[in-house]
Amino acid sequence: MRQGFYQLRRSVWLSFVITSLLTASAFSAQEAKKEHDPPVPLAWLTTEEKARFDAGRRLFEFPFTAKEGLGPVFNGRTCEACHHIPTIGGSGPGYRGNIRYILPSSGTTQGTLFHDKSIAQGPADVLPENAILSKRRPSTLMGLGLIEAIPEEAILAHADPDDKDRDGIRGRPAMKEGRLMRFGSQSHVATLFEFVADALRQEMGMTSPMPGFNTETASIDFPRFVKNPIPEPNVSVDVVNKLLDFVSLLAPPERDSFNLGGGQVIRGEKLFSQIACAKCHVPSFHTGAAPYARAPQATAMSVALLNRDIRPYSDFLLHDMGATLNDGVSLGVSKPGEYRTPPLWGLRFRLHQLLHDSRGSNPEQAIVYHGGEAARSRNAFLALPAEDRQAVIEFLRTL
């Protein structure tokens, strides 16, 4: 009797355990999709800077709602949603590609950001039928603080807008009001402080106090109760600065040390230089000795960013990349078809999502799409014996 009771109890208990295991594993599989690997801060931070990095990280992962000022239109509730590969603060998944668009009748090629979500029931932005679209891939934020710390003169030293050396490669600095703009796929933003404030406003509809970032972006006229659940500006400068601290103190992606020493890889990097890839994808820079002057409201640059040798593989200049990559849309002072050389560090984490609109699904394809100023270099790559082409690719895969 007792034994029967225990047996019953046992089987009930077992089935309970099994069911909860099953639901638990289904649950954790779902959760696992959302759990991204932790971000990696720079190695040389002070305790205080590490605390600022952590506070910024919490905001970077925080799912904003209308109560904090999200919307009325937006593309993501967290920064992390578009920046988490291979770790939080990295690049974005393919389905998170943003869309910039223009209307042929508008007389401008400046792309407007499309918003696919809204806090109200019903539509966010509506894409006009004849809109010209340009997809933009979320880039990695790893190492951006170091990129901001490169002295302007060091970048300008690579510019050759009139092609004086007659190698077909120009490199035009994106200058606006006397400042070099180095961030974004078409170099349309000068500083990380501005990029962060812009991301808050554009991607999340959250306004902040600085001029230019203190008005909503919604193109639809929402009812008042939807538009203004909390007063403008939605967030303080402190929120922008915390996010700035997080982004600018992220460590750059490290090389794949496992495959670094291979003969193929070393030969590949030599060839990369010989066929002029390195003219635009400039391997190394030395960051400045003095902090770069950010906006007056922004936190000062950490000394951990100064006097460092870095290997981003970019010249941070605009290049005319030819007709195939030209989708008709421009940002900032760029012309349609001009793109900023993307840093190649961390390339191995986005091998199937290459170029500004992710159209390159492997490095070979990305190279074949190069045209315009890069046509000669591309042709030189295609003319290499198969073994040498493979060496270049092996090298790229270690970045």
| Residues in contact with ligand HEC by the rule CB under 6 A | 75-76, 79, 81-83, 92, 96, 98, 136-139, 141, 144, 169, 183-185, 192, 195-196, 199-200, 203-204, 243, 247, 272, 275-277, 279-281, 319, 321, 325, 339, 341-342, 344, 347, 354-356, 363, 366-367, 370, 373-374, 377-378, 381, 392, 396
Residue 115 to residue 201: CA distance in whole angstroms:
11
Nearer to ligand HEC, 289 or 323 (CB): 323
Nearer to ligand HEC, 17 or 52 (CB): 52
283 to each of 46, 237, 278, 318, 362, how far by Cα in Å?
28, 35, 6, 17, 21
373 touches 170 (CB < 8 A): yes
150-90-100-314 Cα dihedral, nearest 10 degrees: 30
**Closest separation between CB of residue 17 and ligand HEC, Å?**
40
Residue 310, Ramachandran bin (φ over 0: left; ψ between -120 and 50: alpha; else beta): beta
Nearer to ligand HEC, 17 or 127 (CB): 127
322 to each of 122, 255, 356, 368, 371, how far by Cα in Å?
40, 30, 14, 12, 5
Paired tokens of 175: 């200058």
**Closest separation between CB of residue 47 and ligand HEC, Å?**
24
Nearer to ligand HEC, 146 or 321 (CB): 321
**Closest separation between CB of residue 275 and ligand HEC, Å?**
5
Residue 209 to residue 3: CA distance in whole angstroms:
72
Paired tokens of 108: 């401008």
**Closest separation between CB of residue 222 and ligand HEC, Å?**
20
Which amino acid belongs to residue 68?
A: E
Q: Of 103, 107, 127, 109, which Cα lies nearest the Cα of 328? A: 109
**Closest separation between CB of residue 374 and ligand HEC, Å?**
4
Backbone phi, psi, residue 19, to 5°: -60, -45
**Closest separation between CB of residue 26 and ligand HEC, Å?**
27
**Closest separation between CB of residue 77 and ligand HEC, Å?**
8
**Closest separation between CB of residue 21 and ligand HEC, Å?**
35
Nearer to ligand HEC, 136 or 288 (CB): 136
Classify each residue of 366-386 as buried b or exposed e, where b means 16 or more C-beta atoms within 10 Å of its C-beta.
bbebbbbbbeebbeebeeeee
**Burial of 161 (C-beta count, 10 Å sphere; 0-12/13-18/19+):** exposed
Which residues have CB under 8 Å from 302's CB, separation 6+? 42, 45, 49, 145, 248, 249
Nearer to ligand HEC, 52 or 319 (CB): 319
**Closest separation between CB of residue 24 and ligand HEC, Å?**
30
Nearer to ligand HEC, 249 or 396 (CB): 396
Residue 313 to residue 173: CA distance in whole angstroms:
16
Nearer to ligand HEC, 221 or 364 (CB): 364
User: Which residue shows structure tokens 């029967």?
Assistant: 4
Nearer to ligand HEC, 244 or 304 (CB): 244
Nearer to ligand HEC, 28 or 137 (CB): 137
**Closest separation between CB of residue 51 and ligand HEC, Å?**
19
